[in-house]
Amino acid sequence: MPEGAVTEELARRAAAGDGTALELLLAEIRPETVRRCGRFLPCREDAEEAAQDVLLQVARHITGFEGRSRFGTWLYTVVANCCRQKYRELKRRAAEQPAAIEPAHAVDPRTTSVIAGSRVDLLEALDRLEREHPQLVAPLVYRDICQLDYAEAAERAGIPLGTLKSRLHEARKRVRPWLTSSA
């Protein structure tokens, strides 16, 4: 059985209540989950924490996976949501901490590299887009970040393909200036 088919079969069995299949599924998807979380969160420890949250969500909500789409598609949604939640938590924690006496201690390692900065900028842009135009977030996350094809992204977002394309175009147009400036 091809690798993806094994994961799909384990997900189907786990969704039906097979505990052994769930354990095998979690072990199977862990490395890919950590890698996917790393696309969102530049700090490895944060990505690993988010991946743990993803695995916990999969374990808790696998019975909600109905098999109407591929398990990988369902998993992308969980990854995106957990990473965005982790980012909000990190932002909140950083805002609550008192300013350090020495400026050297105030440097946030998540924003010191070009790569990390670009990911943080993307998360900031997604956060802002969600506040200002929440209906545009899912198409952008599914298509551009999770890299689902258009049909899968539309299915996952629960909207017609034309609507997805229209919202994706609008989301890209709105996010582009936020990523190219410090706005």
Q: How confident is the model at residue 120 (pLDDT cuts 50, 70, 90)?
A: low
CA end-to-end span of the chain: 49
Which stretch of 90-104, 115-129, 169-183 has the lowest confidence by average pLDDT? 90-104
Q: Is the distance from CB of 58 to CB of 124 less than 8 angstroms?
A: no
Q: What residue ranges do the domains of the chain occupy?
A: 1-107, 113-183
**pLDDT at 102 (0 to 100):** 44
Distance CA(150)–CA(165), nearest Å, equals 8
Q: Is the pLDDT of residue 114 over 50?
A: no
CATH of 1-107, one of 1.20.140.70, 3.30.43.10, 1.10.1740.10, 3.30.420.40: 1.10.1740.10
Distance CA(75)–CA(97), nearest Å, equals 33
**pLDDT at 3 (0 to 100):** 60
Report the mean per-residue pLDDT for the chain: 82
Amino acid at 8: E
- Token reading at 81: 């949501």
- Token reading at 26: 């979690």
Mean pLDDT of 21-26: 96
**pLDDT at 183 (0 to 100):** 44
**Same fold: 1-107 with 113-183:** no
CATH of 113-183, one of 1.10.10.10, 3.40.190.10, 3.30.1330.40, 1.10.1060.10: 1.10.10.10
Q: Is the distance from CB of 39 to CB of 122 less than 8 angstroms?
A: no
Q: Is the pLDDT of residue 110 over 70?
A: no
**pLDDT at 48 (0 to 100):** 93
Question: Looking up tokens 């069995």, which residue turns up?
Answer: 13
User: pTM higher than 0.75 for the full model?
Assistant: no
Mean pLDDT of 60-73: 87
